[in-house]
Amino acid sequence: MRRYLGTARGDLSFNRLAYRAGNIPVINGVDFDEVRFGTDWDSVAPGVPDNVAFWYDGQSWFSTYVNTSYDREGLSYTMANGVAMPVSRGKRVTPGSGESGSDILPLNPSAGSVWDEAGLYDSVSGLIGGGEVSRVLYFGALVRSVNGSTPATEEKDGTPPDGMEAFVQLTRPGLSALGALGMGNGWGQWAYSIGGVFGTADLKQTNNTTYVSVNTATRLMVAKITFNHTANDTATVWLDPNPDHGDNQVWSVCRATVTGDFSFSQLAYRSGNIPELNGWEFDEVRFATDWRGVTTNLPSLRQGVMIKIH
């Protein structure tokens, strides 16, 4: 491959893009492709940029899920920095799936897939984040409960309540219905929480025990998963984080951290099994390799913030 470098100086402001070739018919053929604008090298370099959002939303009107339904009216959310969270392709509504009724969506990791190109696919286990993978993955979603936390949601015949328990979760074959890692609401305090087979923890402020009780507001949850091939993986989940602050959220933003094997190949939507209390909605479910990919609008499935013109 040949590389050339040139430098130009002057007023380079513009508002149009033009294609131009010479005027000798037999020798003026020039092809153009992959014309891109970006704010960093990764956005304009060939291949999958490091900040790619390589799976974006999973909702569609033709879904054959048994325990969830599709609604064309997506959730709306204004982020901490005042920017509106874009809505795309509707939302997934869970009418209650209980312990064994999670609706599972295969993410199809394989050799040559975008998971592989991003360095997250382990060919031995066939999982995202499995085996020798050492990489950071961000997982984000909008969540909303149809019912707020009330005494009715906190008791069921003297047994642990499970009407408002709900997660959008990462899982893999062979795990229980709890999955590897979920974001939503566990049993505990009826607080927004992180959960899975490796433990459940309420999201709390860092300098005290304050948590946010489940309510009917649309909330943004973002997980940072650090896959480690020599040790347990680590996942930190934030509730309503400021996207401008990335990993360095202020103390008042509730969070929790858990460790375990978070490798996965499927996405599941799950909610409790008390009919009158189990309504949850999920939207804008995203995976990306940086904060920008899970909190900003994306022009397409695989291009992060890159603008690509044909």
| Cα gap 100→95, rounded to integer Å | 14
Decide: 296 and 33 in contact? Cβ < 8 Å: no
The pLDDT value recorded for residue 105 is 84
Q: What is the pLDDT of residue 172?
A: 94
pTM of the shown model: 0.77
DSSP code at position 264: B
CATH number corresponding to 48-309 = 2.60.120
Q: What per-residue confidence (pLDDT) applies to 38?
A: 76
Query: pLDDT tens per residue, the chain (310 residues)?
Result: 344 567 788 898 999 888 888 777 777 778 777 787 877 665 676 554 455 667 767 666 666 666 778 888 888 899 888 888 877 667 888 766 655 556 788 888 999 888 998 899 999 999 999 998 999 999 999 999 887 766 555 544 445 455 667 889 999 999 887 889 999 987 655 789 998 898 888 899 998 888 888 888 999 999 999 999 888 999 999 999 999 999 999 999 999 999 999 999 999 888 776 666 667 889 889 999 888 888 876 544 433 333 333 3
Distance between CA 203 and CA 215 in Å, rounded?
14
The owner of tokens 């054959």 is 64
So what's the pLDDT on residue 158? 46
DSSP assignment string, the chain: ---------S----S-------S-TTT-------EEE-SSHHHHSSS--TT---EE----TT---SS-EEESS---EE-TTSPEEP--S-EEEE---TTT--EEEE----TTSHHHHTT-EETTTTEET-TT--EEEEEEEEEEESS---GGGG-BTTBPP-SS-EEEEEE-TTS-TT-SEEEEE-STTSBEEEESTT--EE-B-TTS--B-B--SS-EEEEEEEEE-SSS-EEEEEEES--TTTTT---TTS-EEEEEE---BSEEEEEE-S-GGG--EEEEEEEEESSHHHHHS--SSSS-TT-EEE-
- Give the pair of three-digit tokens for residue 232: 């347990």
Contact 228, 134 (CB under 8 A): yes
Torsion of the alpha carbons at 135, 140, 145 and 149, rounded to the nearest 10: 60
What is the per-residue pLDDT across 123-137, written as a single tens digit (0 to 9) for each? 999 999 999 899 999
Query: Do residues 215 and 239 make contact, with C-beta atoms less than 8 angstroms apart?
Result: no
pLDDT of residue 112: 87
Please count the other Cβ atoms lying within 10 Å of the Cβ belonging to residue 276. Answer: 11
Q: Where are the domains of the chain?
A: 48-309
Can you give the length of the chain in residues?
310
User: Residue 160's CB: how many other CB atoms inside 10 A?
Assistant: 10
Mean pLDDT (the chain) is 80
Question: Using CA atoms, how far apart are residues 40 and 295, in angstroms rounded to an integer?
Answer: 18
Look at residue 25 in the predicted model and tell me its pLDDT: 72
Question: Which pLDDT value is given to residue 152?
Answer: 56
